[in-house]
Amino acid sequence: MNLSLFNTSNLFEAATNLFQQLGIKLNSNTAEALPTKNLLKDFYKENFKSITNTFFIGIIDDSVFQITEKKDVNYNLKEALQQGDKNYDGLMLFALELSSKPTRTEISEITRAFNRISQKMPVALILKYTVDSEAVISIAISERFKYLQNWRQGEKAGKVIILRDIHTKPENIHAGHQRILQDLTKASGVTNYAQLHAQWLNVLDVNILNKKFFQELANWYFWAMDKVQFPDDIEKKKDVRNATNLIRLITRVIFIWFIKEKNLVPASLFNEKYLSTILKDFQKNKKASNFYQAILQNLFFGTLNQKMDERDFAEDHDRKNKLDQGIKNKYRYPDKFNISKIEIVSLFKDIPFLNGGLFDCLDKFDEEKLEKGKKEQIFVDGFTRLDGKQAIVPDYLFFGVYPEVDLTEYYDPEAKKPILKNVKGLIDILNNYKFTVAENTPIEEEIALDPELLGKVFENLLASYNPETQTTARKQTGSFYTPREIVNYMVDDSLIEYLKQNTEINTDDFDSRLRNLFSYNDEGNPLNSKETDELIEAINNAKILDPACGSGAFPMGVLHKMVHLLQKIDPKNKKWKAQQKEKIIGKQIKELEKDKKSIAGLSDKAVREKAIQAVDERLKEIEEIFESKNYFDDYARKLYLIENCIYGIDIQPIAVQISKLRFFISLIIDQDKDSKKENLGLRSLPNLETKFVAANTLIRLEIPTTDLFSENNPVKVLQEQLKITRHEYFNAKTRKDKLHLQQQDKALRKQIATQISDILITNKEEEIANLKKQLNEEKKKLTQIENEPEQKETLEATNLFGQIETNVIDKKKEKIKAQKSHISLIEKKIDSLKTTDNKDAIQKVA
């Protein structure tokens, strides 16, 4: 597919030529540019000013399949619009020239506006704009509807499908875009619009694209399973160890691919020809692991996890080596390069520091032994100079095509015929697909792999080695993931119910207005100012926990929907900003001034001053986040929602990692790169270790109910200190600060645990004492009953046969039995309280 005409010819000719290459001769006889504002009329918006030229390029309907040399069916715009108002089976086409690169949302808004000038026939757009002196195009198609759309009455628009940012110079066009355009070419046998539409729907189906990608990835995963080697310090079972580490590797590399879309990582690091010039023995043999160790591990741990101006190699000299022992954010393996250390550091110099615990190396010192003064490392990632502890992932697993690989053992060991698959190297697979950093929504769907893919990949690969699901997972590839539609339904219902219960808006139409807010339409905010303030406050105070978050589908759905709500009710972010300020001032200063016991409990004046200083710093931070030109409006919305409102727990640590990855991507997309500023103008990612936690929520900590966090309780003071520490940790940037705050957090948790334990022990001792008093009283009652005279009662009754039966009841004996049973229950309760070791359980959790 040759798109170079977009750089040399006018847009009408270039767009017409594109469809000609797709096998479709268009039928417009209106080659002149049209006035956009007059064309769109009431649907024109001020932010459409970037549209400099608009061309009508034709209609695709059954007539284009019936063109002969004698008869061409041509339309001018007026005829096309008349056709669009009466005929549904077709597609009206416009080409637009823009003065600047549009966002995905801007493309969607423009596409919907053009669709509203045609009541029945859908409209598709080709949008052209310039990026780095090259013409770039996007193709946007509105979802088909089989009923009249009364746009003027405000019915919500259909989904817009976008093939975005297609480069037009042959050397720059992405392989994924090239493949999709080839697949859109009219297939032989297509003789009418309905057949063409079915073909295009299949090509532009993101689910099919995702499934195709996952199948290729799954083939690679199973093929690589017995070819990799990871340290066995923690996981002794090789199959489990390799499976989890391969999934971790895949998700880390896919994350890199997403940020590569933001031009934050140079493509040269994954260019096979270039790598062969800078790496020693690259792909020399089956054991060479130079690409993984020298490029990927140094990228993960030495680059993305280290400030840009502090990147350097770990020293190998014996005296200095001890200083660098266990430091996992310094470069390693200089001997695997053909270039000098200075040149190696230069390879990574334009990559920003991301932080966030995302690329923290999992190799660490054994904490128990460290407390005893012994330094012994536990290796998981194997980022080390120690032979025997290094991770080995051979170079050939990343590049090349390997036909007819036998994967019968993994897909179906009982199969009668071998299951042969063509397998590509991991980097070659990724290079063949287009990625987008913005997750698709119900109304915007980009034909590319979005961050939700991380969840789909994880859920299905994890299911493939879980004994309970592996057979199904391997035979039904891609079946272990909650569909987006179901997630959206659960999110909407949960949030609507929460907002109804946590606001005082009691009007009869509140439910319908709320649901209207949740829907993706252009109707704006249906709430008045007071109701809007109340809703924003409820959103700000929300605490949403997914106790089995998996790869983060529900928490991410919640984030997107809450951001959507804030966009509608507070488009300029003024109220949201005010809420963040009030939250800080109210929680930190006002509470301390109001509660003298809390102030006294904060050990001394210095602690209180530290709290006030923290408030000042956070207020300054808020100003920067909301006002910086490098951060889009959604960044401030997302950051504070993530810090204050959304939490997740999962039993699988790798699931937690992927949840965090998706939240990190959602923050990265709303920041702009600026090479003149520190860290390229990008705010380092927050640390989410206290937001997404690996734990088993099915195991309950049994503790007596007591008001542990009342204002008069010392635990409350410690809790406030922990909140300050956790906010500082959320934003900590250096490894030194993070380690210090982790230790501080741990110490505070231990203090809280001790306080709770002491309170519980005191309460338990009081409860036991009360029960013993009760037991003595009940035993006295038993003695009294035993000393009572005999109490027998005779009862006569007629049975079914008319006979009289006599029963003698020993009432004293019954009373003794009941009293002994009551005493036994009290004794068991006392024994239970004596044996319940809440202190150890609480300390363990802390």
Q: In this predicted model, what pLDDT tens digit does every residue of 761-814 receive, in sequence order?
A: 777 777 788 888 988 998 898 888 888 888 777 776 666 666 677 777 788 888
- Beta-carbon-side half-sphere exposure of residue 839 (alpha carbons within 13 Å): 14
Pairing of strands 91-98, 123-131: parallel
Average pLDDT estimate for 459-484: 66
Of 114-123, 341-350, 381-390, least confident by mean pLDDT is 114-123
Given a contact cutoff of 8 angstroms between Cβ atoms, the answer to whether 194 and 65 are in contact is: no
Q: Tell which residue, 405, 458, 523, has the closest CA to residue 154.
A: 523
- Determine, yes or no, domain membership for 819: yes
Q: 564 and 673: one domain?
A: yes
Helices (H), 787-810: none
Per-residue CA distances from 760 to 14, 831, 845 (Å):
77, 16, 15
- Determine, yes or no, domain membership for 592: yes
Rounded Cα distance between 774 and 819, Å, is: 13
pLDDT for res 457: 82
- Determine, yes or no, domain membership for 715: no
Residues 6+ apart with CB under 8 A from 448: 164, 176, 209, 433, 434, 435, 436
Domain endpoint, select from 334, 360, 393: 393
Rounded Cα distance between 53 and 11, Å, is: 9
Per-residue CA distances from 56 to 107, 186, 576 (Å):
17, 21, 42
Q: Is the pLDDT of residue 150 over 60?
A: no
> How far is residue 617 CA from its own chain's centroid?
29
- Determine, yes or no, domain membership for 581: yes
pLDDT band at 704; cut points 50, 70, 90: very low
Three-state SS at 23? coil
- Residue 338 is given by DSSP the state S
Helices (H), 681-734: 714-731
Rounded Cα distance between 397 and 661, Å, is: 24
627-641 per-position pLDDT tens digit: 888 888 899 999 999
Amino acid sitting at position 438: A
Q: 221 and 364: one domain?
A: no
Q: 52 and 186: one domain?
A: yes
Of 113-122, 179-188, 595-604, 622-631, least confident by mean pLDDT is 595-604
Q: 484-501 and 510-518 helices cross at what angle (nearest 10)?
A: 140
For 79-142, the three-class secondary structure string (H helix, E strand, C coil) is HHHHHHHHCCCCEEEEEEEECCCCCHHHHHHHHHHHHCCCCCCCEEEEEEEEECCEEEEEEEEE
Q: In the predicted model, what is the mean pLDDT of the chain?
A: 84
Q: 30 and 41: one domain?
A: yes
Q: 255 and 295: one domain?
A: no
Percent of the chain with pLDDT over 70: 85
Q: Tell which residue, 171, 607, 231, 157, has the closest CA to residue 388.
A: 231
For 71-82, the three-class secondary structure string (H helix, E strand, C coil) is CCCCECHHHHHH
pLDDT for res 324: 57
Work out the number of other CB atoms within 10 angstroms of the CB of residue 188. Answer: 7
- Determine, yes or no, domain membership for 114: yes
Average pLDDT estimate for 530-555: 94
Residues 6+ apart with CB under 8 A from 809: 792, 793, 794, 795
Residues 6+ apart with CB under 8 A from 17: 5, 9
Q: Which residue range is the domain that position 554 belongs to?
A: 510-699
Given a contact cutoff of 8 angstroms between Cβ atoms, the answer to whether 43 and 36 are in contact is: no
Q: 580 and 559: one domain?
A: yes
Residue 670, token pair as written in the block: 């709303």
Residue 789, token pair as written in the block: 């005279």
Question: How many domains is the chain built from?
Answer: 5
Rounded Cα distance between 284 and 347, Å, is: 22
Q: 407 and 382: one domain?
A: no
- Determine, yes or no, domain membership for 708: no
645-695 per-position pLDDT tens digit: 999 999 888 888 889 989 999 999 899 888 889 999 998 888 888 899 998
Q: 184 and 221: one domain?
A: no
Rounded Cα distance between 376 and 201, Å, is: 57
pLDDT for res 506: 85
Domain endpoint, select from 152, 172, 202: 202
Specify the residue for token string 């999709």.
Answer: 180
Helices (H) and strands (E) in the chain, counts: 32, 15
Amino acid sitting at position 229: Q
Work out the number of other CB atoms within 10 angstroms of the CB of residue 555. Answer: 26
Residues 6+ apart with CB under 8 A from 794: 806, 807, 808, 809
- Determine, yes or no, domain membership for 711: no
pLDDT band at 697; cut points 50, 70, 90: confident
Q: 627 and 586: one domain?
A: yes
Q: 26 and 56: one domain?
A: yes
Q: 250 and 322: one domain?
A: no
**What is the secondary structure of 392-437 as a DSSP string?**
B--GGGTSSEEEEEE-HHHH-TT-SS--EEEEE-HHHHHHTS-B-S
- The three-point CA angle 637-642-643 to 5° equals 105
Q: First CA to last CA across the chain, in angstroms?
A: 61
Given a contact cutoff of 8 angstroms between Cβ atoms, the answer to whether 556 and 666 are in contact is: yes
pLDDT for res 593: 46
Q: 141 and 18: one domain?
A: yes
Q: Is the pLDDT of residue 37 over 50?
A: yes
- Determine, yes or no, domain membership for 823: yes
Given a contact cutoff of 8 angstroms between Cβ atoms, the answer to whether 119 and 83 are in contact is: no
Indicate the pTM of the whole model.
0.78
pLDDT for res 124: 93
> How far is residue 117 CA from its own chain's centroid?
37
Domain endpoint, select from 699, 718, 738: 699
